[in-house]
Amino acid sequence: MKLLTRYLAREIYSSIGLVFGSLLMLFAFLDFIHELSVMGYGQYSLGYVVVFVVLTIPGHIYELFPVAVLIGTIVALVQMAARSELTIYRASGASTAQMLGALSKIALPMIMISFLCGELISPPSERMAQKLRLKALNSQVSMQAFRSGVWVKDDLSFVNVKSVMPDTSLSDIDIYAFDETFHLKTIIRARQASFVQPGTWLLKDVLQTRFDKLGVSTQAMPDQEWKSALTPGILSVMLVVPEQMSAYDLYKYTTHLKENKQQSARYEIAMWNKLVYPFALLVMMVLALPFASYQRRAGGISVMVFMGIVLGLVFHFAGRLVASLGSLNDWQPLFSATAMTGVFLLIGAFMLWQVERR
């Protein structure tokens, strides 16, 4: 069985590598075409476009891993079946359970690579790509949850930020501070805010309005320290969508949202999806195994590959749809993140059962 596992691994890894290369070239080309529409604005030249496309590749690797594994495994197994190699293995006593065990061993390194890519490589690479693009375009990141900007609750204060710059400094900030009885104490308006150290920001061009029993007083200051639990890490979620953040960053941000009694469903779903997504590779291999029963009279290899592409795309887009519906309808985050993986596992198990019945 060890010989079969090594041979299967070589065939499957080579097929997955070819599929990955094709998919990445396709998505990189589409990204390149999309970026050409804004090339020429500011300093965004062809060189910046190429660097941006290269930096987004790790994100595509993570997203496309299950699709590539499904298609690559189907191609490898169907070709082996067409050459009657799997028939020989079955005749020598290799059972379906042993085949599943072999595929699990083959999937384990890819699960680790997928997890590391999603946690350590893709998030900083995507953040770097977005910062590079914004800097080259002489732009700033809009935080338009509303027309007035994004509102963040920070303990007893409500913070309104119009925009966050690529270096995560803030511009046009309004801070509304309330007391324990929810009476407005002060309104602080600043042109800019820079992060100094954990828990401290430096506000510049400050106008402070204070409300007390004696009336209303206004004071202008060149700078002022602002104590806040907000950090550039929390605010950097405005540069990268939740699906491209690391599970650790998502955990920190959902904790911050819950502490401030804000909606966190989308970020919780993304966090659970980050933890579950690598194991979808094993599910894709289970789903591909029934294709090993391929016979030449049942159709061509191209038909099987087409079916694999369709199943992979359905998994990819249906997973996003369920996650979006879960966020909108406030479904249980773990369910929203694992629903499609569970459905495809059941489909694969049913297909295996059908094959074993023949």
Does residue 7 belong to any structural domain of this protein? yes
pLDDT, position 239: 56
List Cα–Cα distances, 26 to 39, 65, 145, in angstroms: 20, 14, 33
Give the separation between CA 283 and CA 293, rounded to whole angstroms: 18
Does residue 240 belong to any structural domain of this protein? no
Specify whether 125 is located in the same domain as 36: yes
94 secondary structure, DSSP code: -
| Owning domain of residue 270 | 2-137+261-357
3-state secondary structure 203-224: EEEEEEEEEECCEEEEEEEEEE
Specify whether 45 is located in the same domain as 187: no
Residue 325 has pLDDT above 70, yes or no: yes
Pure H helices in 37-163: 46-82, 85-91, 96-116, 122-136
Specify whether 27 is located in the same domain as 119: yes
Tell the residue number behind the tokens 């890490």, with chain if given: 233
Does residue 144 belong to any structural domain of this protein? no
Write out the two tokens for 176.
């509304």
Specify whether 111 is located in the same domain as 67: yes
Specify whether 277 is located in the same domain as 224: no
Specify whether 317 is located in the same domain as 194: no
DSSP states along 37-62:
TTTTSTT--HHHHHHHHHHHHHHHHH
Specify whether 62 is located in the same domain as 180: no
pLDDT, position 148: 61
Query: How far, rounded to the nearest angstrom, does the alpha carbon of residue 256 sit from its chain's CA centroid?
Result: 19
Does residue 72 belong to any structural domain of this protein? yes
Q: Which of 93-102, 133-142, 240-249, 315-324 has the lowest mean pLDDT?
A: 133-142
Highest mean pLDDT among 39-48, 163-172, 201-210: 201-210
Look over the chain and give the mean of its residue pLDDT values, rounded to a whole number.
82
Residue 145 has pLDDT above 60, yes or no: no
- What contacts 150, CB < 8 A, 6 or more positions away? 143, 144, 160, 161, 238
Share of the chain above pLDDT 70, in %: 88
Boundary residue ending a domain (228, 253, 276): 228
Is the pTM value of this prediction over 0.85? no
Specify whether 169 is located in the same domain as 296: no
Cβ 208 vs Cβ 188: under 8 Å: yes
Give the separation between CA 31 and CA 49, rounded to whole angstroms: 9
Boundary residue ending a domain (228, 249, 277): 228
Residue that wins the pLDDT comparison between 46 and 91 = 46
How many domains would you assign to the chain? 2
Does residue 282 belong to any structural domain of this protein? yes
Q: Which of 188-202, 250-264, 289-303 has the lowest mean pLDDT?
A: 289-303
Residue 250 has pLDDT above 90, yes or no: no
pLDDT, position 144: 43
List Cα–Cα distances, 117 to 23, 120, 123, 236, 319, in angstroms: 17, 6, 8, 19, 19
Give the separation between CA 132 and CA 124, rounded to whole angstroms: 12
Specify whether 276 is located in the same domain as 344: yes
Does residue 342 belong to any structural domain of this protein? yes
Specify whether 11 is located in the same domain as 52: yes
Does residue 210 belong to any structural domain of this protein? yes
- Tell me whether strands 184-197 and 170-178 are parallel, antiparallel or unpaired: antiparallel
How many Cβ atoms from other residues are within 10 Å of residue 194's Cβ? 15
Does residue 149 belong to any structural domain of this protein? no
Specify whether 128 is located in the same domain as 169: no
Specify whether 128 is located in the same domain as 183: no
Boundary residue ending a domain (181, 206, 228): 228
- E strand or H helix at 121, and its extent? none
